[in-house]
């Protein structure tokens, strides 16, 4: 069965040349893009969809989200807006609520958030564990995440948790657990491993221990790096060949060089700076140095409770000196690169037909009309799903 999407006013492909077609058409066959070009050259197809001269873009790839959690931290957000700093300490509040929640409760939250994302044009999402922090609670978080995505990430090293006695565990002992028995239980359910490498969470040596053990267990690597301070996270991520270093808010010149010269994507999460009232990362500095820059939501109940990639694009354009086209590429093709995926995030022949028709004439409207719902139709693997 083939489908012709005709009369696309502007087609933002996010392909390697950054091609934008006008008056375009697409043919989809068996869920994949089979043809892209000017509508006057369009081939015939079994079914027809009229895009009504609106703009079409690739489905968003949200390469960083924490969706397996319970509880609410809106009070913490309100306190921050009144001047309290964000330290990451609130992670433990969510850990307590998550451990106490039944599976169905966690599943419901994941279902609600992934549906919310899909309605807003996100056709691929990565989901991390990290709010269980016991062997059993991390493994069940990943089992639940796996019901919603293939891009599952083991984040046992999110913070040093309280043990059964209610006291904070010793950081080195917990690191050994996260790099040992917890990893062993989680690896079958995870594609990736991540570590929060930060003062107050895991230092460079501890992060290295978890990441190297995870790589040995067959997992790809990602790192929460340089979010609150200019620590060793980015350096380590690049050295270990991680797919992505995420946050990248506080970078030294040598971190920027490493990202520009290595194979690690710099994933920026401006929802976190918005929600923690922190200075935004300098996307322009990274782009000008030649680094690959992605955008993701970091959707989580503490530092960034947004599921909207369009909101992140608007922030990146207004606050981080990205052009609308750069921000949209970062939210699609570069997000796919951050997951080492070549089959999504781009509109080109052979790619999965994950497409978003905007209720707008141009992709620029994503930033130009912030906060406005602009999603007309979402196609996942060629099927209109929303
Ligand atoms: O990416 N920084 C570490 N982890 C999350 C925040 C988690 C939380 O505050 O609950 C982040 O910002
Ligand atoms: Fe995060």
Distance CA 374, CA 356 (A): 10
Query: Which residues have any ligand 1 atom within 6 Å of their CB?
Result: 88, 90-91, 94, 196, 224, 227, 272, 298, 300, 302-304
Block residue for tokens 């935004």:
280
Q: Could you read off the pLDDT of 123-143 as tens digits, one per residue? A: 999 999 999 999 999 999 999
pLDDT at residue 302, as a whole number? 98
Of 142, 233, 242, nearest in space to 182 by CA: 142
Domain segments of the chain as ranges: 2-57+347-384, 60-338
By the 8 A CB rule, do 317 and 367 touch?
Answer: yes
pTM of the model: 0.98
**Could you name the CATH architecture of 2-57+347-384?**
Roll (2.30)
**For residue 118, what are its two tokens?**
């899909």
109, 227, 326, 297: CA torsion to nearest 10? 10
pLDDT at residue 17, as a whole number? 96
CATH domain 60-338 topology = TIM Barrel (3.20.20)
| Residue list, annotated binding site for 4-imidazolone-5-propanoate | 73, 131, 158, 227, 303
ipTM of the complex: 0.98
Of 77, 59, 159, nearest in space to 114 by CA: 59
Q: Could you read off the pLDDT of 1-55 as tens digits, one per residue? A: 999 999 999 999 999 999 999 999 999 999 999 999 999 999 999 999 999 999 9
By the 8 A CB rule, do 62 and 309 touch?
Answer: yes
In this chain, the answer to whether the domains covering 2-57+347-384 and 60-338 adopt an identical fold is no
Closest ligand to Cα 304: 1
> Edge-to-edge strand order for the sheet containing 192-197?
127-128, 152-157, 192-197, 220-225, 244-247, 265-268, 293-295
Closest ligand to Cα 128: 2
């Amino acid at each position: 069965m083939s489908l012709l999407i005709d009369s696309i006013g502007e087609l933002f492909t996010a392909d390697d040349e950054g091609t934008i077609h006008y008056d375009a058409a697409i043919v989809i066959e068996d869920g994949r893009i089979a043809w892209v070009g000017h509508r006057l050259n369009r081939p015939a197809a079994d079914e027809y969809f009229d895009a009504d001269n609106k703009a079409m873009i690739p489905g968003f790839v949200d390469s960083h989200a924490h969706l397996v959690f319970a509880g609410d931290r809106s009070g913490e957000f309100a306190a921050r807006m009144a001047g309290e700093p964000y330290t990451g300490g609130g992670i433990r509040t969510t850990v307590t609520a998550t451990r106490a929640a039944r599976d169905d409760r966690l599943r419901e939250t994941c279902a609600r958030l992934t549906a919310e994302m899909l309605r807003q044009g996100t056709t691929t999402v990565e989901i991390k564990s990290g709010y269980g922090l016991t062997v059993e609670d991390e493994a069940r978080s990943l089992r639940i995440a796996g019901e919603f995505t293939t891009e599952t990430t083991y984040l046992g090293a999110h913070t040093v948790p309280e043990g059964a006695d209610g006291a904070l565990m010793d950081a080195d002992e917990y690191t050994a657990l996260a790099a040992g028995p917890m990893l062993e239980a989680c690896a079958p359910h995870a594609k990736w491993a991540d570590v929060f490498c930060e003062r107050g969470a895991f230092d460079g040596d501890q992060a290295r221990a978890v990441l190297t053990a995870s790589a040995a267990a067959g997992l790809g690597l990602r790192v929460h790096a340089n979010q609150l301070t200019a620590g060793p996270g980015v350096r380590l991520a690049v050295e270990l060949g991680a797919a992505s270093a995420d946050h990248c808010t506080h970078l030294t010149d040598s971190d920027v060089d490493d990202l520009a010269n290595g194979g690690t994507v710099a994933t920026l999460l401006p929802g976190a700076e918005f929600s923690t009232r922190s200075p935004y990362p300098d996307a322009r500095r990274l782009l000008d140095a030649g680094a690959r820059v992605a955008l993701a939501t970091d959707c989580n109940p503490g530092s960034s409770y947004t599921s909207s990639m369009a909101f992140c694009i608007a922030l990146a354009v207004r606050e981080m000196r990205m052009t609308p086209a750069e921000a949209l590429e970062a939210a699609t093709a570069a997000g796919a690169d951050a997951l080492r995926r070549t089959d999504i995030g781009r509109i080109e022949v052979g790619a999965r037909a994950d497409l978003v028709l905007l209720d707008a004439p141009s992709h620029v409207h994503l930033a130009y009309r912030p906060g406005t719902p602009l999603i007309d139709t979402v196609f996942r693997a060629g099927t209109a799903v929303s």
